[in-house]
């Protein structure tokens, strides 16, 4: 049984990926998210961190396209997303974590302005917003990431949480 709540959540995840809102997910959406992160944290695209982020965005896009772009037109339609990505990612959340990890790692590096390999809860919320998570969900989601309450969020917190958010349970 497919509930309307489930449908609604799928639509929200699609909208998160479809950063420019043109109705399909493609490379530009991933690069758009990278660009938004660099702007938010004042990091130059040509810097090492900037280049790592774009590399991670490309890998993330290639991984998603490999899973979901059935007709190979370099676009993931809503139908391809629902019938390909969502089912396959739900069956294998580890695979999604693997695809997203280089990008998330680079995103945290961009947000980690003092270089202590962790970001504050506030910075994590700004990262989530740049990735298209709706504003009202970004701050609470970031606070949840800080499970031990020390005010810092690291990669070990972010990758599984991101995978959970996108591998929508039925």
The dihedral built from the CA positions of residue 23, 28, 34 and 35, taken in this order, carries a sign that is negative
For binding to Ca ion (CB under 5 A), which residues are involved?
A: 18, 20, 22, 29, 69, 71, 73, 75
Whose Cβ is closer to Ca ion: residue 75's or residue 101's? 75
**Smallest gap from residue 114 Cβ to Ca ion (A):** 34
Token pair for 86: 């969502």
- Distance (Å) of CA 136 to CA 95, 126, 157: 28, 12, 20
Whose Cβ is closer to Ca ion: residue 57's or residue 161's? 57
Write the CB contacts of 141 (distance below 8 Å, at least 6 apart in sequence): 125, 128, 133, 161, 165
**Smallest gap from residue 23 Cβ to Ca ion (A):** 7
To 5 degrees, how large is the angle CA 84–CA 103–CA 78? 25
**Smallest gap from residue 84 Cβ to Ca ion (A):** 9
Whose Cβ is closer to Ca ion: residue 82's or residue 139's? 82
Q: Is 78:7 a contact under the CB 8 Å cutoff?
A: no
**Smallest gap from residue 14 Cβ to Ca ion (A):** 10
Whose Cβ is closer to Ca ion: residue 22's or residue 113's? 22
């Amino acid at each position: 049984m497919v509930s309307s709540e489930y449908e609604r959540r799928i639509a929200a995840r699609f909208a998160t990926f479809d950063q420019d809102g043109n109705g399909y997910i493609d490379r530009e959406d991933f690069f758009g998210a990278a660009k938004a992160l660099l702007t938010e944290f004042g990091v130059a695209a040509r810097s090492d961190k900037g280049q790592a982020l774009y590399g991670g965005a490309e890998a993330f896009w290639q991984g998603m396209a490999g899973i979901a772009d059935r007709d190979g037109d370099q676009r993931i339609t809503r139908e391809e997303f629902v019938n390909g990505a969502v089912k396959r990612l739900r069956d294998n959340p580890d695979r999604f974590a693997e695809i997203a990890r280089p990008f998330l790692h680079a995103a945290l590096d961009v947000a980690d302005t003092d270089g202590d390999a962790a970001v504050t809860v506030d910075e994590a919320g700004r990262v989530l917003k740049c990735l298209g998570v709706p504003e009202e969900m970004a701050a609470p989601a970031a606070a949840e990431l800080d499970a031990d309450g020390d005010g810092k969020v690291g990669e070990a917190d972010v990758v599984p949480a991101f995978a959970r958010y996108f591998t929508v349970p039925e």
